[in-house]
Amino acid sequence: MKIAIASDHAGFTYKEAIKAKLTADGHTVTDFGTNSTAPVDYPDFIRPAAEAVASGRCDRGIVLGGSGNGEAMVANKVHGIRCGLAWNEDSARLTRQHNDANVLSLGERMMTEATALALVDLFLATPFEGGRHLARIQKIEHP
């Protein structure tokens, strides 16, 4: 699978760990930054990752920050992106299973690294079950 990944400074450490695991698992990972823990403006990194998923250059995306909230908001402004914020196994599974999310947002300050790695695995492995509401979600136009 081709996976876009991006973070701000507060998500950098987990981004690096996730990137290493995904690569070891055989995925192709495109890293949109940031490249250190130096303070940055997260939209500069999150939006290009979301655009790569929306355009089809990447199959899925993973974005990280301190809480993951701002990153999810930025990703969801890109037409064609359905970014879900996850904090436990149920939220990661359901964002795929029920909402067909194509981007996962995680908060480094909200969980352990082991939890973040487990949520990424669950997100990537969970299929979408389908549902009548998804067609409506996908047609929503962003201003």
Q: Is 27 a catalytic residue?
A: no
Please name the amino acid found at residue 25.
Answer: D
Is the separation of the CB atoms in 8 and 66 below 8 Å? yes
Q: Is 71 a catalytic residue?
A: yes
Report whether pLDDT(140) > 70.
Answer: no
Catalytic residue among 9, 51, 71, 108: 71
pTM of the model: 0.91
The residue-averaged pLDDT of 11-24 equals: 98
Listing DSSP states for 103-135 in one string gives: EEEEEGGGS-HHHHHHHHHHHHHPPP---HHHH
Report whether pLDDT(139) > 90.
Answer: no
Catalytic residue among 16, 27, 89, 98: 98
Q: What is the mean pLDDT of the chain?
A: 94
User: Which residue ranges form the domains of the chain, and what is each CATH number?
Assistant: 2-139 (3.40.1400.10)
